[in-house]
Structure 1
Amino acid sequence: ENLAFTRWLEMLQNGVELDTSGCRKLHELWQQSDIGWRRWDSLSDGVQAEITRLYSARRHDWSGLWSRKDVSAWWEQLCENPLSERTYPFDLLQVLPSRLDVEINGFNGKLMTGIPTAYDWYLARYGTKWPMGYELNVSSCGDDFIQIDFDTPWSPPDAAVMEELSRRYNCVIEHWYAEQGCDFCGYARYVNGETDVYITDELEWGEADPDDEDSFPDVTGPEWIINNVAHFGG
């Protein structure tokens, strides 16, 4: 029995969180298991076939949406362990960790019974289906503040994310957001890890130009959201 790999599987079954300590322990067990020495050509035909089947179904989740890497090259890459650490702008997984089983199960799931899809997990934990900030821009900063604009798909980050940021950095966070496609907006204020204010509302609209069939009404309110967001979403 490969005790290191057995312990790795136990951590998987227990839904280990991918925080710093969890990732470090998982990596140590991976190295101790010596699976990294099992090169593709050393695997039996049956094992290669099963890995190929799994990889073909999960390639987008495990290697990136645009990956076209051959399964043997992917396996050799895992063995060589050359990948450097990476993150994304306003990476919410660095604020609240995900879980190993969720990440292996993938965005659309259907691999592991009883484990949520990453889509469902991300919505429940982070408030948005892709837990990162798009088009992030530092629009202003000073000695004691920083102002950033970013987009998330369809919905704002969950309050738990902003609370953790406020707690971690012992700061006040003010968050304005708007989504004109779904007709909502909001404002929240977080102080030292606690929600101090939380307001949601519908957007207010002007009139479309009756002489221009391609015109679209402008957002005119609520007053408190105007000039506090870079744009009003999709």
Structure 2
Amino acid sequence: PSCCQQIHQWYQMWLSEGGVYHSWDSLTAMQKARLSPLLSAGSFDWLNRFTGEDESRVATAWEDIQYLRGTGEAVPMDMRTLLPTSLAAELHGFNGRLWKTPEVIWRQACWQAFAPGNSTYHLYQCRYGVKWPNGSGFHCIDGGHATELSAEFDTPWGPPSAEVLCALSARFRCQVRHVYAEEGCGFCGYSEYDHGRLADHESDDIEFSDEENEDGFRDVTGPDYILDSLPHYGG
């Protein structure tokens, strides 16, 4: 709680300054010395790339974070908006590299008190049932009915947890039918939710044709409920 209060205080202070943008060149030498190892350790988790200890690359990472902060871009099918994530784990990162910082930093009492025990890899698997809690290749399908909405998306390497779909159904006070398939491993299933409650579910092995098609794959032949729900190979 004390760490969250401190972060909130800093955030409110930043807002009171009008959300001032601080370029890398405007930072003091001490600020750069503190930020460099943090950016070097966390850049892959935050920006999907390594900076190493090269100051020019660290500076570019800082500028990119400043840019992303102001875009307001949303993550497709972000499950963290349905089930809250952990701020400490998010900072810790998927690979858990943030806390692998120089001894002069991590030996500070305030740092030790804040450092979480797990990376987001562990958190996402436990809370959302998937490796990354968002839907890639996400797009909506307009079926022409005012009270219905369909969406397609992929997740690695299995379906989202029932808790995620329950939260989705509860959030919009609606019925949700979720169909999933993973042809590579040959499993599939469906679940139905009603206003936040799991109403029905089924899991099966995918049925394949005996002969391969012209692309070298065996066609999916069942169960019936997935035949019209596979936009492409994979799920």
Smaller-chain TM-score range?
0.7 to 0.9
1:215 match: secondary structure: coil
Alpha-carbon offset, residue 224 of structure 1: 2.3
Please give the alpha-carbon distance, in whole angstroms, between the structure 2 residues aligned to 1:79 and 1:231.
37
Please give the alpha-carbon distance, in whole angstroms, between the structure 1 residues aligned to 2:68 and 2:158.
36
Unpaired runs of at least 5, structure 1: 1-6, 14-22
Question: What is the aligned-residue identity percentage?
Answer: 32
2:123 maps to 1:121: yes
Cα RMSD of the aligned pairs, angstroms, is 3.5
Unpaired runs of at least 5, structure 2: 100-114
Q: Tell me which amino acid in the other structure corresponds to 1:136.
A: F
**What is aligned with 1:65?**
48
1:122 match: secondary structure: helix
**8 Å CA contact 1:40, 1:75 repeated in 2:** no
Aligned match for 1:89, one of 53, 69, 76: 76
**What is aligned with 2:28?**
43
Q: Deviations over 1:91-149 (max 9, x none)?
A: 21222221110111001114345422111211211121121112222223311111111
Alpha-carbon offset, residue 215 of structure 1: 2.1
1:200 match: secondary structure: strand
Q: Tell me which amino acid in the other structure corresponds to 2:81.
A: Q
Q: Tell me which amino acid in the other structure corresponds to 2:43.
A: R
Instruction: Sort the Cα spacing of 1:25 and 1:160 in 2 relative to 1 into closer, same or farther, 3 A.
Output: farther
Please give the alpha-carbon distance, in whole angstroms, between the structure 2 residues aligned to 1:219 and 1:38.
54
Task: Give the length in aligned residue pairs.
Answer: 214
Alpha-carbon offset, residue 81 of structure 1: 9.3
Normalising by the residue count of structure 1, what TM-score does the alignment of the two structures yield?
Answer: 0.75
Normalising by the residue count of structure 2, what TM-score does the alignment of the two structures yield?
Answer: 0.75
Bigger shift: residues 94-103 or 73-82 = 73-82
Instruction: Sort the Cα spacing of 1:232 and 1:36 in 2 relative to 1 into closer, same or farther, 3 A.
Output: closer
Please give the alpha-carbon distance, in whole angstroms, between the structure 2 residues aligned to 1:174 and 1:195.
10
2:211 maps to 1:177: no
